[in-house]
Amino acid sequence: MNKLLPTSTAGSLPKPSWLSEPEKLWSPWKLEGEALIEGKQDALRVTLMEQQVAGIDIVSDGEQTRQHFVTTFIEGLDGVDFEKRETVKIRDRYDASVPTVVGAVSRPKSVFVEDAKFLRSQTKAPIKWALPGPMTMIDTLYDAHYKSREKLAWEFAKLLNEEAKELETAGVDIIQFDEPAFNVFFEEVNDWGMATLERAMEGLKCQKAVHICYGYGIKANTDWKKTLGSEWRQYELIFPSIQKSSVDLVSLECHNSHVPLDLIELIRGKKVMVGSIDVANKTIETPEEVADTLRKALQFVDADKLYPCTNCGMAPLSREVARGKLNALSAGAEIVRRELQA
């Protein structure tokens, strides 16, 4: 990108109510068969237009074709039984009923590549595509086969790498791996989590991003945040590993969060997608609030490496609130852009 401070979103955006019930995670589809395929494509068109009308520079699919950022990819794999469910603690935080790994995992065909080709055909703007990271995938499953988090993560990394390479060929400019689990299992990240992410990114020539956040604005997450104290220093434990990795962009939660922004100094040199929109709060930021977060981040990120973004996905918000937040992001970035070019 030649433009200074190119804007983007961390991932999901709300879906139209004719496609699935809004403001809900894992919301079931309202359509079936051919009508569902067409409905998903229409939703992609709408989300793309909304991003472009708001002036977002790096666009995405807003995850319109997936029910959930982790499970939809897993649904495309063999070796996982979605009928056989177990309750596990996700991110060490909340109980969820999840599918079971019952055999060797494999990817019989690509999962998102047709959707990515469709999005590519609709715009010339740079596209970012999100995939779950290996560690976040294993944390959203019950494993009755490998019985080793590490072994399963390496298997998933291989499959993610195949998918990512096909997405790259389809014309995706930035592939982002979502790793909220990196903010919880620090020892594992430094032990093998980062290595499995490297495996997932191996050989990619497009830009590679990792998104590490404090989660969607759901109750389990906001309750957890209340226990983290006044300074959130989780990033400090994993940034040295990220600094040494081949990751190009790091997507972080910065706005309204208790993350001391000077921690970003630890990944100096990387491009940073600075979360300047709070997704856990329905209040729409003013452009000046967004600009303020960006100015603070500029102390630790070079201007040509700063990418204004949202803290996390906006799927659980109403469309109206999400649109307002996209507009605020654009307007706030423009304020700082003008200051930098003055």
Residues in touch with Zn ion (CB under 5 A): 213, 312
- Closer of 11 and 99 to Zn ion (Cβ): 11
Q: How far is the CB of 38 from Zn ion (least distance, A)?
A: 29
Integer Cα distance of 22 and 8 in angstroms? 22
Exposure b/e, 172-207, CB count within 10 A at least 16 = b: bbbbbbbbbbbbbbbebbeebbbbbbbbbbeebebb
**What minimum distance in Å lies between the beta carbon of 167 and Zn ion?**
19
In three-state secondary structure terms, 115 is: helix
Q: Are 326 and 25 in contact, with CB atoms under 8 Å apart?
A: no
Q: Which amino acid is at 9?
A: T
- Least distance CB 178 / Zn ion (angstroms): 6
Environment class of 161 (CB within 10 Å of its CB; exposed 0-12, middle 13-18, buried 19+): buried
In angstroms, the CA 314 to CA 275 distance is 12
Nearer to Zn ion, 164 or 213 (CB): 213
The DSSP element (H or E) to which 328 belongs, if any, is helix 319-341
Q: Which two tokens stand for residue 218?
A: 């759901």
Please state, in angstroms and rounded to a whole number, the distance separating the CA atoms of residues 153 and 143: 11
Give min distance, CB of 13 to Zn ion, in A. Answer: 13
Tell me the closest approach of the beta carbon of residue 6 to Zn ion, in angstroms: 19
CB of 292 to Zn ion, least distance (A): 22
Q: Of 111 and 312, which has the nearer Cβ to Zn ion?
A: 312
- C-beta of 117: minimal distance to Zn ion in Å? 25
CB of 217 to Zn ion, least distance (A): 10
- Closer to Zn ion by CB, 213 or 254: give it: 213
> Closest by alpha carbon to 144, among 185, 190, 84, 197?
84
Cβ-Cβ contacts under 8 Å for 90 (sequence gap 6 or more): 96, 98, 139, 140
Tell the smallest beta-carbon distance from residue 177 to Zn ion (Å): 11
Q: Which is nearer to Zn ion, 99 or 313 (CB)?
A: 313
**Contacting residues for 13 by C-beta, under 8 A, at least 6 apart:** 47, 50, 51, 60, 62, 63, 64, 313, 314, 315, 322
CA distance 253 to 232: 11
Name the token pair of 5.
């401070």
CB 275 within 8 A of CB 253: yes
The Cα–Cα gap between 96 and 42 comes to 31
Nearer to Zn ion, 177 or 192 (CB): 177
- Give whichever of 213 and 333 is closer to Zn ion, judged by the CB atom: 213
Task: State how far the Cα of 191 lies from the Cα of 194, in Å rounded to an integer.
Answer: 8
- Cβ closest to Zn ion, residue 99 vs residue 275: 275
Alpha-carbon torsion angle 141, 138, 254, 228, nearest 10? 70
Which residue, 69 or 192, has its beta carbon nearer to Zn ion? 69
